[in-house]
Structure formats: C-alpha cells, structure tokens
A and B are shown apart, each in its own frame.
Chain A
C-alpha cells in the first residue's frame, strides 16, 4: 500500500463501523527524530479509538506490553486529549495489518525503546480528533456554539444550560449528522496537561497483583494439546531417528512426531508431555556447529581484530596520529554470549486449518511471525491471525527474526484438529535460545599534550544482527551493521541520528562481521551498547587514567559542544557528589551513553573486599529523555534497565563447548537478585523536547560504570566479561 492511498483512504473507509461503534482515525504525520525520515518518512494513518454507544472507549494498541509500560503511556496520551480517565479505556491489541504497522519500522514491531516517541503524536491526535467530533455532534444537537462546550471524564458539558451527555450517547448523532473527522486538530499545550507528565501507575497494574493478568502461557483453549520439544544438543542439529515406544506408554501422551525444531511430544497436560519427553530415544545429526566453542570465537575474533575491517568512520588522521604518538594505549575487550532468560518461558499456541492459521503468542514482532508462518504454510499472510496476550518479559528475545518459537508451534499443530500449545522449559530457553552475540573490540588511543584523548582507533568483531535479514538495507551501511558499532561513532550513522556526543580529533572505527556460525544472534536490551558501551566507556576511562584527568571531567570537556549530554554530566557531578573522596576499599566509576537519542549517564559507588567480593552501594542516574511522559514509569524502567545490565555484566555468560551450551538454568546462568540490587537514584532532567525512549537506555552505561569503579577501587582493569570470571563477585 502506498503512503498516498493510506493517507487518502483510511479515515473515510473506517469511519462507519458495524455495530454502531466508531473508529476515529489519527491522520497525523510522524515527526519523531530523523529515524522516520531516514527510513522513508511518511504518514501513519491508523485508527486507534473506538467508542461504542454503551460508552465503552477502546484503544487499539499497535504496540505490545511486556513490562515496558506501552499500555500505560498510550492510554495516558489518548486520555489526555479525549478527557477521560486513562484506566477507563479498554485496551485491545490492534489487528496485525499494515494499517497498524509502526511508522518507524514499517512492521508490526515493538522494539528499540521507540514506543513513547513514535506514538506521542498519533495517540494524542487520535484522542483530539475523537473529541472534536463529539463536540461537533453535541453542538449541533443542542444548537449551541462549539466554543461553549467542554469535556471532562467522558462527558460533554454545556455549562450555561447545565446540560451534559456521555460520549457514547453522542455516537448516534455522529452517524445521523455524518460528522467526519476534522482534517486538522490542535493538541493541548503542555501547560494544560492533566495526565501527561504526571507520575501515573501502570495501566494493567491491578491485574498484576491478584494473579488475573493473562500471559500467553496462561491461555487454555478447548481441546488444546500441550507440547514439549526435545531439541538438538547443538544449534542446527537435526533428528536422524527416534524411538518413542516408552514415551507413548506414558500417561496422557497422544502423539510423538519429528518437526524442524526436534521431536515434539503432544499430551493432555504440559507436565505429561515434559515427563514423556525424557523417555524419548533420539539419534541426532549434530550438524555443522559441532565444533563451535566460545573460546574459539574469542581467538578467531582477536585475530580478525588485528586485520583492517570495513571502515565506518575516519575523522582526522587517527592512524597517522597513533604512529606518531610517544605513547599508545592498547586494550582488547571481550564480551560473552548472553541469554535473555525472560521469566515467562517462551511459548505459543497454534491452530492450523486448511487455509488459515491462528496463533496466540507473546511476541514483540507480530508482522514477522505472520510473514514467516504464511511462507511456511504457503497461505496468504492475511490468513494468519495473531492474538497477543501480555508477555512476562522480553528484553529483545520475543522479536525473533526467525519466528522460531511461533513457527515451531505451527508445525507441531499441523495435522492436529485441536490447538497445540508449546512451552519451553527453562533449560531449553538457556540452551537452545538466541543470544547477544559474543564481541571483541580492539582499542588503541593516544593523548595530546594536555592529557586529553587525541586519537582513537577501534575495531569491532562480532556476529551481525542484521546481515542477510530483511532489515539489511535499513540497518546495514556499506556492509556494516550499525548495531555492531552503536555508540562508537562520533557522527550520525545510517538511520541512527546521533553520535557519541564526544569529540576526539582523530577518530577511526572499523567493523568485521564474524562468520554466522554456532548460534542465532539476537537483540538484547540496549542491543549494540551491551558490548560497545563496555569497550568505549572503559577504554575512555583508561585514557583518562593515562592522561591523569578525572573521567567525569574528561567527558565534560569532550561534550562541550553537545549541550544535552553536557547538562546530564554536570547534573551527575552534582547529584553523585562526584568530587567528594571515598574511603579505603571503595571506588567510584561512571559512564555516559546515547542510545536512540536520549543522553544518559550513571555514577556508581562500590565497596570491594580483598577477595574480590564487591557490593554496589549506590547508583546515581541522570537522563534527558525529552518530555517525561510518565516519571513513575521512567523511574521503573531505569531501575529495571540497570538491574538487567548489571546482572549481565556481573555474571552473565553463555559458554559453548563442542557446539553445546554449558549452562541450563538459573543455578549456572545466574541473574541479579534482591540482595545484589543497588540503591538507584534517578534524576530526570526537565525538558520540552519530544519524548524519547527509556526502556533500554539505562542498561547501556551500568556495565562500564561498574567496571570503571572496580578499577578505581583496586587498580585492576577488567577486559573480559563477566566480572565474575575475573575474580570480582557481586554480592
């Protein structure tokens, strides 16, 4: 569908809906940052609001809720302009059709911490247009001027005559009077906001304290069978043969069959399926990845890092400056594979009929699931219906490009007359998942006479997320995956409209796409920054130390031409009492990053014992995310982002030996727990700029800030992660 047909068609076509309800269209161009323009620009023409005569107000949400607060900020935006209580709005997952695709991604996808920014105008416009139509109807019905009418709590009021009417009661009038959505509408000035900018509790919070929230894993359909899959020990392995004699004798077992993902046991309950799976006797072809190991990745990548990569940025003459420098500082940083370990294990229900398929799936990426399933079954994409329950965490895992955990459920359901639900055990999740790719960064730097960084040369090596995918054209620049270098380049790159915020006179960055073997690489909360943040911010700390300049002072100088980051750093210095000395055995470190436009910086204070055990006593986080739509939600996302990044840096490690992942559950893939969680102080800078993301931002600086604090306290620099592998145990 072309943009013009979308612009011209939708509001008219969707104006009158069956059942007397109305859909209000939001005709509004997206102006969020330059990502949209770079991705092709254009207008989003979706219908987000439905009001029915019984006065039920429904928002069709085209973004998913997995803890990110999408439903809260979107209902807040709508409620503000429509003058209703945000909690009175019913949320319904918008259908998976191009009408509802994200204007940024041009797919049905919730990712990249862009939900708030990219819905900021469409949702408010949808609410304002709906309100304008209601006012128009009431004015005509009552024969009064529109200007005399006001709205509050879902009612239109005419104060002079003390008349009032609910929105629902006006729907008939809108039909009768053939009131059309206005072409343009003015949005409230921030000074008039009653909801936006105010600390607001989670929209679906009540259902999350009484056990009634419905996650995908909780859904039950009539006659549904439960499936457990035995997966190959090595990624890419295949079933050669299997003996299910014993499994088929187990209680509740209905069927055992081989599918692409392995061997699936179908049973009346999940436990029966899981138990019977243990009785299978399977011969595997271990496939091409049998010899893969993490240590081999490290040594291959270190060797690659010595070779020239694809040149991403070359400001000044870094190679010349380094070869002429008296002293060159060199380091190699190594970051392991990481699993997402969403607490709700992956799951999907699928029902397949002759020419159609329905899935119930906690997914970030509806349009891709639809596309992969339609290709797999050979049916039209619109014959694949995606129902979306709440998700028990995602952190990137549920935006699978291969649609692995949905398409396998579809395959398991093929030939069955009932729906099939597949649940992954925690062991499957840790061993057979997709991972934050392993990365090696080779760093070289030199200083000027004043001790400031003069030349910077970085070579990044790791598996690309986007290479060869359908996102290749948008997210690869001259063969370089822009995520592999996110936050390493001083200038905007590809569709990323931001640089590091630092200015180093000679700045050269290269990239190698490591061979795609052994694993499936996948975005992990804050994506490229999970490794680039460590390499960049720790090496900057090394240069600061070599130049005998305080690391925060160094960043203040490097960002003197970047007003927003400079302000963040100045506030961090003050709020963290950065310049006050700490006692023996204690240390302080900081890092600052820009991810998806928002500048953020963190300072941490730690205490380290002689045996390397350490505690994080305090994290101070300052961020500038533009207009803070929901400060309470932002604070939660910052705390959560820090927890996620900290756990990964402290002990996150997926280790592959002979093709097999060595970890299996939370005992050997530890995650952060309550006693290890630091106190976090969040400072959101006031801003009138459009809102930008917060979901992933806080994950980016915490790992390097902690590593830098460990150096500050002990003089020992960690260059291979996790910290636990280097004798530093977070307690």
Chain B
C-alpha cells in the first residue's frame, strides 16, 4: 500500500486494518502524532487527511491510501515553523505538551476554514481535544494570535 505523508510517497507494510496512528508511529517513526484514547475521544492523534482533520486512532490505514496525510512533522518547512506553531510558542501554550500536536493540527484546519474565529467558534472547533494540563486559555489566545499572523503575512 502507498501513502503520501507530508508530501512524500511511502510504502506501507502494516496490515490494512491498522489504525493510521500506529502506522505513523511504529512503521514511519513519525511519533509527533500521539496516542491518547484509541476511540476518537481526546484528539491527541489528529492529522489531516486530504486537508480535513481526522482522528488517526480510529482511521484504518487503508482509508488513507492514495490521499495526502499531513502530520505535525509536516507543519515545519524550510522557512521554519508555521504561523500556528509560532503563535503557540509565542503564547507559551505547552505544559506537558503531549496533546499539543493534535491541538495545533485542529487549530490549523480551523483557521483555513475560518480565518478569524471568535472565542466561541474556537471553543466549538477544539472541544474534541483534551488537554489534561488545562492550557485551554492559552490555546484560545494562540489561535487568535495565529489568525493575526496569517492575516498579516498574507498582506506581505
């Protein structure tokens, strides 16, 4: 089976029913995507599949065949961190940091759809992502900052 992960085509040997999460982590060594619950309850495993945020812990790898998979590792390019990642760093969001890959992937998808979300829209979009350290207030701030960074950089 062939997958396109962060722009690179890769051959997959895992069984077809293996969740995409474990293929990324155990076969491709892309361990930035995290296991938290295994039943789409916590959002730690969020990646983009064909541009949409999905829970990779309940998505069999076969469902990703031929589609573009984007993970946290793909958010940083030659130019450096993405606007969302920079906003996260600037806001000092992370505590333990375990959930933040998933949070950043969901926030990135949100801002593509809605470039200037309100607090309430942020809350709704991110309600599926658990942070046990309680960094929620800073996540809200960071999403607003990322929206500003993206808007400003689009003008340049």
Contacts and interface: CB of A to CB of B under 8 A. Distances in A.
A345 B37 CA distance: 8
Nearest to B97: A208
Contacts of B139: 674
B76 to A, nearest CB: 5
A69 B95 contact: yes
Contact of A636 (B15, B32, B35, B138): B138
B134 A343 contact: no
B42 interface: yes
Given A343-B36, A395-B132, A209 B89 contact: yes
A206 interface: yes
B12 interface: no
Interface in A637-676: 637, 639-644, 665-667, 671-675
> Would you list the 5 A-B pairs with minimal beta carbon distance, nearest first?
A211-B32, A643-B134, A392-B98, A67-B96, A208-B97
A220 B89 contact: no
Contacts of B19: 271
Interface string A206-244: 111111111101101000001000000000000000000
A66 interface: yes
B146 to A, nearest CB: 11
B92 A632 contact: yes
B134 A218 contact: no
Contacts of B136: 639, 643, 672-674, 677
A343 B32 contact: no
Nearest to A682: B137
A419 to B, nearest CB: 14
28 contacts: A67-B97, A208-B100, A209-B94, A209-B100, A210-B32, A210-B85, A211-B31, A211-B73, A211-B101, A220-B29, A269-B18, A269-B26, A270-B22, A271-B26, A343-B130, A344-B36, A345-B36, A392-B96, A425-B38, A637-B95, A640-B134, A643-B136, A644-B132, A667-B41, A671-B132, A673-B128, A674-B129, A680-B137
B76 A210 contact: yes
A271 B18 contact: yes
Contact of B127 (A393, A632, A674): A674
A426 B36 contact: yes
Contacts of A407: none
Contacts of B137: 639, 677, 679-680
A209 B85 contact: yes
Contacts of B31: 211, 214, 217-218, 220
Given A343-B99, A345-B36, A393-B98, A210 B73 contact: yes
A509 to B, nearest CB: 31
A182 interface: no
Contacts of B34: 215, 217, 343-344, 392
Contact of B41 (A425, A632, A666): A666
Contact of B131 (A217, A343, A632): A343
Interface of B: 14-15, 18-19, 22, 25-27, 29-39, 41-42, 44, 71-73, 75-76, 81, 85, 88-89, 92-101, 104, 122-124, 126-140
A575 interface: no
Contacts of B36: 343-345, 426
Interface in A613-653: 632, 636-637, 639-644
A717 interface: no
A488 interface: no
A597 interface: no
A409 to B, nearest CB: 17
A666 B37 contact: yes
Contacts of B133: 67, 393, 640, 643-644
Contacts of B95: 67-69, 202, 636-637, 640
Interface of A: 66-69, 201-202, 204-215, 217-218, 220, 226, 251, 269-272, 341-345, 390-395, 423, 425-427, 632, 636-637, 639-644, 665-667, 671-675, 677, 679-680
A390 B31 CA distance: 14
Nearest to A207: B97
Contacts of A641: 134
B35 A423 contact: yes
B140 to A, nearest CB: 7
A258 to B, nearest CB: 24
A272 B17 CA distance: 10
A702 to B, nearest CB: 11
B135 A675 contact: no
A624 B33 CA distance: 38
Contacts of B39: 426, 665-667
A69 B96 CA distance: 9
Contacts of A632: 92
A211 B72 contact: yes
A206 B130 contact: no
A665 B35 CA distance: 13
A341 B98 CA distance: 13
Contacts of A214: 31
B50 to A, nearest CB: 20
A241 to B, nearest CB: 28
Contacts of B129: 673-674
A673 B130 contact: yes
B38 A426 contact: yes
Nearest to B142: A209
A581 B71 CA distance: 50
A209 to B, nearest CB: 4
Contacts of A269: 14, 18, 22, 26-27
Contact of A677 (B75, B76, B97, B134): B134
A209 B98 CA distance: 10
Given A343-B98, A666-B37, A209 B104 contact: yes
B10 to A, nearest CB: 16
Given A211-B72, A269-B26, 11 more contacts: A66-B96, A202-B92, A210-B76, A211-B101, A213-B97, A392-B98, A641-B134, A673-B129, A675-B123, A677-B136, A680-B137
A665 B42 CA distance: 10
A605 to B, nearest CB: 16
Residue of B19, B29, B135, B139 with most chain A CB atoms under a 10 A cut-off: B135
A345 B99 CA distance: 12
B97 A210 contact: no
Contacts of B18: 269, 271
A487 B35 CA distance: 37
A502 B93 CA distance: 36
A639 B136 CA distance: 8
Contact of A206 (B89, B134, B138): B89
Residue of B31, B97, B101 with most chain A CB atoms under a 10 A cut-off: B97
B140 A674 contact: yes
B96 A393 contact: yes
Contacts of B15: 251, 272
A212 B130 contact: no
A25 B101 CA distance: 38
Contact of B35 (A217, A393, A677): A217
A426 to B, nearest CB: 4
A342 B138 contact: no
B127 A671 contact: no
A394 B96 CA distance: 9
A66 B98 CA distance: 10
A343 B44 contact: yes
Nearest to B95: A67
Contacts of B33: 211
A277 to B, nearest CB: 12
Nearest to A68: B95
Residue of A211, A342, A671 with most chain B CB atoms under a 10 A cut-off: A211
